[in-house]
């Protein structure tokens, strides 16, 4: 897990440096890196990293016999992780198919992360171009992931609460 975290961090640094390569000429060392392949690697590593953390978190939440403050805080952390993975997904799609989004500024990472949390909470966002199916499916997966997580979490908390009262 530690090595996966370090590898994910290194790929993220390379991602940022290659993105800055458009702005600074002295960073031309990183011109050889293909942004689309790096984007897929970045998304895969973040997805695996957050997936393992979320799996371990859910496993520990399931093992808890009672609902405590730690359980509630852990559940909130899991929900935020789904939002961060959604943000990485939208950013990856942006670098693979920028036409799938409405006109965004040069570095739209923050806007796409906000949009991912908007989809996660089912509020939605207007950053996706309605003509592109790939981005719409990604937004649907983010929304479904958030709703399933909340439904499972409520069922877990209610079962613990019901067991404690009986």
Of 132, 122, 71, the closest CA to residue 99 belongs to 132
pTM as predicted: 0.80
The CA distance from 40 to 136, in Å, is 18
CATH 3.40.50 fits 39-165, yes or no: no
Q: Write down the residue that tokens 């949009």 correspond to.
A: 115
pLDDT of residue 83: 92
pLDDT of residue 164: 67
Q: Note the pLDDT tens digit of each residue in 96-140.
A: 888 999 988 877 888 999 999 999 998 888 899 888 899 999 999
Q: Note the pLDDT tens digit of each residue in 103-113.
A: 888 778 889 99
* Cα atoms found within 13 Å of the Cα of residue 38, Cβ hemisphere only: 18
Band of the pLDDT at 95, cuts 50, 70, 90?
Answer: confident
CB crowding 101-133: b at 16 or more within 10 Å, else e: beeeeeebbebbbebbbbbbeeeebebbeeeee
14 vs 79 pLDDT, higher one: 79
Domain ranges of the chain: 39-165
Q: Note the pLDDT tens digit of each residue in 4-47.
A: 989 999 988 887 777 665 555 555 555 556 677 888 888 889 88
């Amino acid at each position: 897990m530690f090595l996966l975290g370090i590898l994910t961090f290194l790929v993220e640094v390379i991602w940022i440096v290659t993105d800055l390569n458009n702005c600074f000429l002295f960073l031309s060392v990183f011109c050889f890196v293909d942004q689309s392949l790096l984007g897929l690697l970045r998304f895969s590593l973040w997805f695996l990293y957050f997936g393992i953390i979320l799996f371990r978190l859910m496993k520990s939440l399931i093992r808890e016999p009672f609902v405590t403050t730690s359980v509630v805080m852990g559940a909130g952390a899991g929900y935020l992780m789904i939002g961060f993975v959604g943000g990485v997904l939208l950013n990856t799609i942006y670098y693979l198919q920028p036409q799938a989004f409405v006109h965004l500024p040069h570095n739209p990472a923050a806007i796409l992360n906000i949009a991912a949390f908007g989809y996660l909470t089912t509020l939605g966002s207007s950053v996706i171009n309605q003509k592109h199916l790939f981005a719409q499916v990604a937004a649907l997966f983010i929304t479904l992931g958030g709703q399933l997580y909340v439904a499972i979490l409520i069922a877990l908390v209610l079962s613990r609460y019901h067991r404690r009262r009986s």
